[in-house]
Each structure stands twice: as structure tokens, then as C-alpha cells.
Amino acid sequence: MDPGTIVLVTPDRAALGVEGLLSRRGEAVVVVPNGAAAIALLPTGRPRLVVMQQHLGDMDVPHFCRIVRDGAETRGVSLLLIADEGDEGVAALSLAAGCNDVIHRPFDEEDLDTRVARLSSVPVRKELRTLVKLELSMERAGQFFLGHSLNISSSGMLVQTNQILAPEARVNLQFYLQNDPVPMRAEAHVVRAEFLGGAARYGMRFLGLGSEDEHRLTEFIERLRRTGRIL
């Protein structure tokens, strides 16, 4: 299966009516009838996005999301739930279990297209990055909270925090590189969310990192790699 494929999980292809919408926007779509079939496909197929309806036939959506997020080979896949009209309970439980986004029926085709495009186009960063734990403070809408990075590159970082952030939320970050007394400051926005147990992890892309700070960050990462030191 092409790594760019979208997997659509639905016991009733006609009831959901999304396969045609996805195909018309040029996406390669593989349809599976239930959650177990999707879980069996994901480790080898490596799709970029799973779109699922609320009724999977063999398991509930939150359970499906937890299985995907707990798998070492599947936790990076984006998940989009198409929920029944007015059913906020399943939506909330699914988000808490690791679903990236929820859209309710009846939905606008343009809205679905926007969400699919956002979730399926999260770039795989190929540039130099490293596993490094950096404490950082975050500010959003005048509120400050703490977290730490799990990995970092010149374009973004994976942040763990106990705060819940909305998809595409913008956050002001401040952190210090080891042995560097000058703080790094950058605006970032959330491009991916993972929920593992009680921890929330967010892939954040830098929006306003200046050339000097980007140079400092790249040198820091290269220095760690050269010395073999992973913090």
C-alpha cells in the first residue's frame, strides 16, 4: 500500500458516503470493514490518515484509538472521526483516547476537505533532529504552563504536557539549550496530537524562529550528535 494512502473504516460504505469525496480530491483510498481489519493493515501499510465512522462494527472508536496510539508502528498515524450528529460524548472520549480531530454529520464537504488536507499533509521532518529533553514554558491566550520536549529539530519539536491543546493551536514557546544562557523564543502551532495514558504529546512546528536562533538550534543538535550525547 502506498504510504500516502488514506484508510477508510466503515462497515457500510454507502452509509458513510465519504469514499467518493476522498477519491474526488485525488486521494488513494483503501476501505476496510471494521476496526480489526484496519489495525491489521496499519503496521505494514503505513497510511498517513485513518478516517472512521462512529460505528466500527467490532469495537468502539475510543478503544480503536487507544490500540493505534499504543502501537510502536502505528502511533504516528493521524485519526479523523466522523461522528453522529449531536453525539459529543463519543467525540470527547475519542479525542481523549488519541483521535486527532472529529467532524460531525451532517458536514460540509469543504470542511471535510480542509480537515483531511491538514491531517494528511503533516510533513515528515527529514532534517537533522535529536531526542532531547528540554524544559520549556508555554503561553497561550495569556495563560502559562510547563512542558518538555521529547525531540527537536530546526523546524519544530515534540512536546509533552498535561494541558489539552486544540488542533492548530498557536503557542509561544521559551526554552534554553544546554550551556546556552540566552533563551530561545518561538511561536509554534500544533500539527499533530497524541494521547498516551495521562500524557498529551503535540508535534509543534515553529512559525517565527529567526535565522540566528535556527542556526543556534542546528549547531546544538549537531553538537549532540557528534558527541553521541542524547539527553
Give the model confidence (pLDDT) of 1-46 as tens digits. 665 689 999 887 665 568 877 776 667 889 999 999 999 999 888 7
How many other C-beta atoms are found inside a 10 Å radius of the C-beta of residue 125? Answer: 15
CATH number of 6-120: 3.40.50.2300
Whether domain 129-227 has CATH 2.40.10.220: the reply is yes
Mean per-residue pLDDT of the chain: 80
CA quadruple 100, 203, 171, 231: dihedral positive or negative? positive
User: Domain ranges in the chain?
Assistant: 6-120, 129-227
Q: What pLDDT is recorded for position 123?
A: 43
> Which range, of 81-90, 102-111, 188-197, 205-214, averages the lowest pLDDT?
188-197
Q: Which three cell numbers stand for residue 214?
A: 535556527
Residue 127 has pLDDT above 50, yes or no: no
What pLDDT score does 110 carry?
81
71/51: higher pLDDT: 51
User: Residue 53 pLDDT > 70, yes or no?
Assistant: yes
Q: What angle do CA 6, 7, 8 make, to 5 degrees?
A: 115
